[in-house]
Amino acid sequence: MKNIATKSVHDLVSGLLSSAGVSPEFIDPLTVLILFAIIALVSYLAFIAGRYILITILTRLTKKTTNRWDDALVNHHFFRRLANIIPAAILMAFIPDIFRDYEGWIQFLTGLINIYIIFTILLALDSLLNAVTDIYQDFEIAKTKPIKGYIQIIKIGIYFIGGILIVSEVIGKSPVYLLTGLGAITAVLLFVFKDPILGFIGSLQLSANDMVRPNDWIVMEKYGADGIVTDMNLTAVKVRNWDMTITTIPTYQMVADSFTNWRGMHESGGRRIMRSVKINMNSIKFCTPEMIEKFKRIRLLKDYIPEKEDELKAHNERYDIDSDIVVNTRRQTNIGVFRQYLLNYLKNHEKVKQDMIIQVRQLEPTEYGLPVQIYCFSTKQAWVEYEKVQSDIFDHILTVVPEFGLKVFQNPTGEDFRALGAFSEQKKTNDN
């Protein structure tokens, strides 16, 4: 039917041109051009109608539905790109009949249309994959298993196949012919796609081992990264640092190098405080009876001091120890009472997480004094609030140190040397 209609139109146009006095040698070429123009116009009108149906009507329908997938397809122009195939399909159907006496033109135009159709299909598939990515983000699993890297791998494969098909159309060879010669350029392809290949392997390992997820806080000192993961794709992981700069890390380097992921801290509900205050060892001593009486009046020690005194007294009496020699007996020290005070203080602090480790311990003495370390977890994880809690705790600690007869160690300052000089001068004056 199509061939008959084309032949009828061809004869009609040829007759009109002949009646118009056109030279016989130009009648056939002009007829072909006129028929091609008519088909091109029909294709364009079909394209307009197809876009109206696929885009305008479908867009209105998608707005009335509650489904997320149809909105994603519209937003990524999937239907718009599909509509671009309509004119190409119409031209492809009529070109062999219009140019039946011009074999070379049939091959040339058919090749161009095939390339156009392949390219249009590639763009439509790209839109479809983008829509799939958007739809996947709505699922809870997307927070722990991102698929952006896998989608990019699929896109690379699709565009690679599309490129093979387009090249085969240009050179007029079968795609199989190109694939058989692909081994000769494998090394070049591996070099060109080195980063995507390594990135794909890295993405698989990151995902399979659940090493990092979007919105994780990571620290990778080698790349100056210290912040929140905002994006993960085939070739790079983007980190928004706390100073609002962006660090881009190659995906495969996340596997090759070490980094710190603070996800466990967020999941625990607490953030660690581990800081020391250094005590001047010259201020450490046994507690005197006056000090014991003073400590009993401290609210956080009112139960501890009597219990400890009873324990030490029972021990000394059990072994009939001569209390006149200080080193024979067990006695409380100001540093020991200070440690217990800090432990009770932390256990009664409303912003210290009580179901996690709370510890006050001595570290190895150094030339800078005896470090007394606070180890606990703040209930506040946000940076600003966490620092405030930590600072409040150490404000209190540094303030109460003298109450236990202790001194905080710090290196001598210019003021100390001036005081020492003034003391020496005063001593000389007094001696004279």
Nearest CA-CA partner of 261 in 200, 308, 214: 214
Domain-embedded: residue 421: no
Domain-embedded: residue 394: yes
* pLDDT tens, position by position, 55-69: 777 767 766 666 677
pTM exceeding 0.75:
no
Which residues, in sequence order, are CB contacts of 43 under 8 Å at separation 6+? 86, 87, 88, 90, 91
Give yes or no: residues 181 and 219 share one domain. no
The two tokens of residue 360 are 């006050």
CA distance 185 to 189: 6
pLDDT confidence band for 1 (50 / 70 / 90): very low
pLDDT score of 403: 94
Give yes or no: residues 188 and 300 share one domain. no
Other Cβ atoms less than 10 A from the Cβ of 146: the count is 23
User: Residue with structure tokens 């091109």?
Assistant: 40
pLDDT score of 2: 46
DSSP for 18-71, please give it.
HHTT--HHHHHHHHHHHHHHHHHHHHHHHHHHHHIIIIIIHHHHHHHS--SHHH
* pLDDT tens, position by position, 391-418: 999 999 999 999 999 999 988 766 766 7
pLDDT score of 269: 85
Residues 263, 217 contacting (CB under 8 angstroms): yes
Domain-embedded: residue 422: no
pLDDT score of 275: 95
Torsion from C-alpha of 397, 400, 402, 404, nearest 10 degrees: -100
Domain boundary among 165, 187, 206: 206
Q: How many domains does the chain have?
A: 3
Strands 359-362 and 217-220: unpaired
Please give the helix or strand (H or E) that residue 273 lies within, else none. strand 271-279
CA distance 203 to 224: 21
Could you tell me the CATH number of the domain that includes residue 257?
2.30.30.60
Domain-embedded: residue 36: yes
Q: What is the mean pLDDT of residues 367-377?
A: 95
Could you tell me the CATH number of the domain that includes residue 277?
3.30.70.100
Domain-embedded: residue 255: yes
Q: At what angle do helices 24-51 and 2-19 cross, to 10 degrees?
A: 130
pLDDT score of 353: 94
Domain-embedded: residue 285: yes
Give yes or no: residues 15 and 96 share one domain. yes
Give yes or no: residues 164 and 36 share one domain. yes
pLDDT confidence band for 21 (50 / 70 / 90): low
Polymer length of the chain: 432
Q: Which residues pair with 226 in a beta bridge?
A: 219
* pLDDT tens, position by position, 85-116: 888 887 777 777 767 767 777 777 878 888 88
Give yes or no: residues 169 and 217 share one domain. no
Give yes or no: residues 161 and 202 share one domain. yes
Give yes or no: residues 138 and 96 share one domain. yes
pLDDT of 16 > 90? The answer is: no
CA distance 223 to 218: 11
Domain-embedded: residue 427: no
Give yes or no: residues 294 and 410 share one domain. yes
Give yes or no: residues 114 and 241 share one domain. no
Look over the chain and give the mean of its residue pLDDT values, rounded to a whole number: 80
Domain-embedded: residue 424: no
* pLDDT tens, position by position, 27-76: 666 766 777 777 778 888 877 877 777 677 776 776 666 667 767 777 77
pLDDT score of 220: 92
Give yes or no: residues 77 and 191 share one domain. yes
Give yes or no: residues 343 and 357 share one domain. yes
Span between the terminal Cα atoms of the chain, in Å: 134
Q: What is the mean pLDDT of residues 12-24?
A: 57
**Helix segments in 287-353, DSSP class H:** 289-296, 304-318, 334-347
**Helix segments in 220-350, DSSP class H:** 253-256, 263-268, 289-296, 304-318, 334-347
Give yes or no: residues 249 and 272 share one domain. no
* pLDDT tens, position by position, 287-324: 999 999 999 999 999 999 999 989 988 888 887 776 66
Task: Work out the angle at residue 103's Cα, subtended by the Cα atoms of residues 97 and 108, and round it to the nearest 5 degrees.
Answer: 95
Domain coverage including residue 254: 211-264
